[in-house]
């Protein structure tokens, strides 16, 4: 990355981390964009250049592009489900302890804040479309192929079900449960 891109990434990350810190201390509703900007040492205008809304500062998932890149880089000999498993493991196991804690905090904030929960659900169609496109590219099939759509929905649904049913307190806990869900998916969904 160029120096400019690295600076932008650093500013982006700083704004998000300061926002999470303030949300933890004050609550989501009680924290203003102005307070976040001041804590990150940027102007409110700069905040809005990086995040269109206060909700977006939490909903932005920096791991998504890493996952898609890792997924598409997996060996073509692997099943798509095994490629999911390996890509997820690569991304989450590559996080530092601090990054893992920040990600768990971000996820918990989404889970417990109605405005964020609603926006996440509304944004789910975009996420599913990106996931479907990645599977289609990797498999060489059309995005509307029923097998591609089913696999995307099942793999994404498994992650959401784990996230909602029994929130985990470590990234390793999520990885373990998601890998088990993918093994179940690969073995067949019939009980």
Q: Which CATH architecture has domain 61-187?
A: Orthogonal Bundle (1.10)
Of the CA atoms within 13 Å of residue 71, those in its CB half-sphere come to: 23
Longest dimension (CA), the chain: 55
Distance (Å, rounded) from C-alpha 65 to C-alpha 154? 20
Residue 77 has a pLDDT of 92
Q: Determine contact, residues 158/85, Cβ cutoff 8 Å.
A: no
Mean of the pLDDT values across residues 74-91?
92
Q: Determine contact, residues 105/39, Cβ cutoff 8 Å.
A: no
Residue 169 has a pLDDT of 75
Q: Does the domain formed by 3-54 have CATH 1.10.287.620?
A: no
Residue 188 has a pLDDT of 84
How would residue 160 be classed by pLDDT, with cut points 50, 70 and 90?
A: confident
Residue 111 has a pLDDT of 87
What average pLDDT is seen over the chain? 91
Residue 166 has a pLDDT of 65
Distance (Å, rounded) from C-alpha 152 to C-alpha 83? 12
| Domain residue ranges in the chain | 3-54, 61-187
Residue 190 has a pLDDT of 64
Distance (Å, rounded) from C-alpha 103 to C-alpha 16? 11
- Helices within 27-145 (DSSP H only): 33-40, 44-50, 54-59, 63-73, 80-93, 97-112, 114-139
Write the pLDDT tens digit of every residue in 6-60. 899 899 999 999 999 999 999 999 999 999 999 999 999 999 999 999 999 999 9
Name the pTM for this structure.
Answer: 0.82
How would residue 164 be classed by pLDDT, with cut points 50, 70 and 90?
A: confident
Residue 2 CB coordination number (10 Å):
7
Mean of the pLDDT values across residues 79-90?
92
User: Of all helices (H) and strands (E), which one includes residue 180?
Assistant: helix 171-187
Mean of the pLDDT values across residues 112-133?
91
Mean of the pLDDT values across residues 133-153?
94
Q: Higher confidence at residue 174 or residue 69?
A: 69
pLDDT of 132 above 90: yes
pLDDT of 1 above 90: no
């Amino acid at each position: 990355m160029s120096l400019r891109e690295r600076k932008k990434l650093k500013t982006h990350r700083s704004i998000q981390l300061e926002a999470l810190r303030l949300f933890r201390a004050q609550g989501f509703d009680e924290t203003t964009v102005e307070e976040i900007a001041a804590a990150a040492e940027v102007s409110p205008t700069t905040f809005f250049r990086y995040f269109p809304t206060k909700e977006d500062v939490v909903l932005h998932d920096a791991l998504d592009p890493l996952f898609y890149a890792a997924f598409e880089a997996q060996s073509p000999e692997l099943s798509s489900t095994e490629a999911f498993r390996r890509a997820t493991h690569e991304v989450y196991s590559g996080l530092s302890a601090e990054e893992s804690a920040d990600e768990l905090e971000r996820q918990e904030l989404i889970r417990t804040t109605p405005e964020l929960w609603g926006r996440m659900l509304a944004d789910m169609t975009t996420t599913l479309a990106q996931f479907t496109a990645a599977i289609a590219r990797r498999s060489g099939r059309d995005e509307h192929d029923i097998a591609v759509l089913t696999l995307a929905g099942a793999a994404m649904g498994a992650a959401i079900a784990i996230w909602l049913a029994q929130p985990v307190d470590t990234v390793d806990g999520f990885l373990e449960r998601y890998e088990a869900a993918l093994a179940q998916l690969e073995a067949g969904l019939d009980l």
